[in-house]
Structure 1
Amino acid sequence: MHKRNSGGIIERTSDQHRDPPGQWPERSPRGKVYLVGAGPGDPELITLKGLNCLRAADIVVYDRLVSPLLLEEAPSQAMRVFVGKGPGCHSMKQEEINALLIKYAQQGHFVVRLKGGDPFVFGRGGEEALALAHAGIPFEIVPGVSSAIAVPAYAGIPVTHRDLASSVTIVTGHQQHTNTPAAVNWEQLAKLEGTLVIMMGVETLGQISQRLLAGGLSPATPAAVIQQGTVPQQKVVTGTIENIPERAAAARIKSPAVIVIGAVVNLSDPLTWFSTTGPGSAQQGHGSAQQGDRKGRPYYTRTCQADPSYSRGDPCGRPGRGWGFFMNQLKIDS
């Protein structure tokens, strides 16, 4: 049996009410890894298959932007392992994450690799899947709701519209290993019609804006930046491609955020539907976003003590945000 908690998410009443293990999802005696998209932030946006995988997991290896409410959906005895990455600070290198997934699967465990958004949309899921394939590890991909689509929708911005945009281009604004715009031909993108969605581009928004303008994009082109989309602390700043860097800076917009450029941004005001009720949250960039879920707990925890050999706390040496996971440990022999 399941019921809805105070946050609205469907939850188990206890572990004994779970579907019998071995029926669905498929379990492998050799171990198996499910690369699961957790969605853009709101825990209710995970898919049914993703939720079922969580509820059957032995081990959950999860990212920084995964809601704690989703981690609660795993069995109480399951081990939670934090491998999150933030701007300029990684708790674990990607190669180490790959090796960790292989190690747990080789030991016969049902592993859920829980990733924000969709694993294959700037989530490095392709790299992890290749590592598993090369190691001969069985795996499945469970797509998630991408923040590239869902976050604009929660800001009242459809990325396509019959009268305004018949195409959408999704790009990354982050260059690997450097603090410069990604190796994207921004000048060429400026010539495309339709909507441009930029992921991980807040740190380089000023440079991106300059290059799009240099490519011929009209300075009056509507633009929006949405911070912490789909959660109550969502914060939206709108303007034009010319002034959006200044407006985002004035509103102290930080990662995680999605940038949307194109005529569809003008629909944000008439199509606003999502209430940002958290402390300090606001539309159009007023106030300062705070991190928390519907129960008042932080969304983005940085402390996890499960497998002592892989718990590193905050990778940047900062104190935790007041709510960590101290779960029953499952002993994993090397």
Structure 2
Amino acid sequence: MLQLQDNRVILNNLTSPFPTFLLTGIPGLESVQAWFSILFCCLYTIALLGNSMILVVIITQKSLHEPMYYFLSMMSATDLGLTVSTMSTTLSVLWFDANQISLDMCIIQMFFLHGFTVTETGVLVAMAFDRYVAICNPLRYNTILTNFRIIQMGLLIIIRTIVLVVPVLLLLKHLSFCRANALSHSYCYHPDVIKLACSDTRPNSIFGLIGLILTTGIDTPCIILSYIMIIRSVLGIASPEERHKVFSTCVSHIGAVSIFYIPMASLSLVHRYGRSAPRVAHSMMANTYLILPPVLNPIIYSAKTKQIRKAILHLLQTK
């Protein structure tokens, strides 16, 4: 059956200017794919409810109208976007075996998927800057992180996302695909798509590398530098109790950074160097990369941030 689909896809890609791709569920585990669909459905539900709850409490509770929580609301909105951008194709593949997708739909999905990913790295940098100012320059916190400056930072993150993502995706329209275009995941992922092209992909790779340098290549050192400065400032505090109290305000952000960057780096390494790895490893790593941050971020911030926890309880009691 799969061979027949592959043959049809090859014929379609040879005779049509609109290439078709085959999305992949969980290769090698088709017999238990229905059970995995239940698990994914539960995780998507947790991600949607958790991030929606964070957004609602920050919008409705005036006590949370502070820079730290504005950035948290940006991250929750980004996580919602990441969840929605892949949920439809993943559940369609797992539930209905609806695994065909056109190049145009692929590009649209990649715009949101990679766009929200780039946005989240920018938001994590903004949150690191927020913690740096709060700990290293607490007296100037309100004068540095004004509402106008936060809006400027948000607009800069959005503009950077559009400028970096759109050209990379538009270049895909100039590629030709002439073989069985079976993707490794249940959604379209840029490195996964370009490796299936029959034409020259060097411009795509160059623009992709430039985008990677201007996002992860800049954002990661900025986050590391901010925490070096924070650690230096915290170590200058004489009281161990005060040091613990101050640094504990960063625990949630450190957790968010870890659950975002570790799966992303792992997926990139698997795509680049793990060609001999089982296909199921690619699939599980890809799904972990996208579902883990949206699921865990609301849990981490609800558990570690007293104000968020109190606001959620207050909202639930009011309802």
- Fold-level match, TM-score > 0.5? no
TM-score range, shorter chain: under 0.3
Higher relative contact order (CA 8 A, sep 6+): 2
When Rg is computed on C-alpha atoms for both structures, the one with the higher figure is 2
Identify the structure with the greater helix proportion.
2
**TM-score when scaled to structure 2?**
0.25
Identify the structure with the greater strand proportion.
1
**TM-score when scaled to structure 1?**
0.24
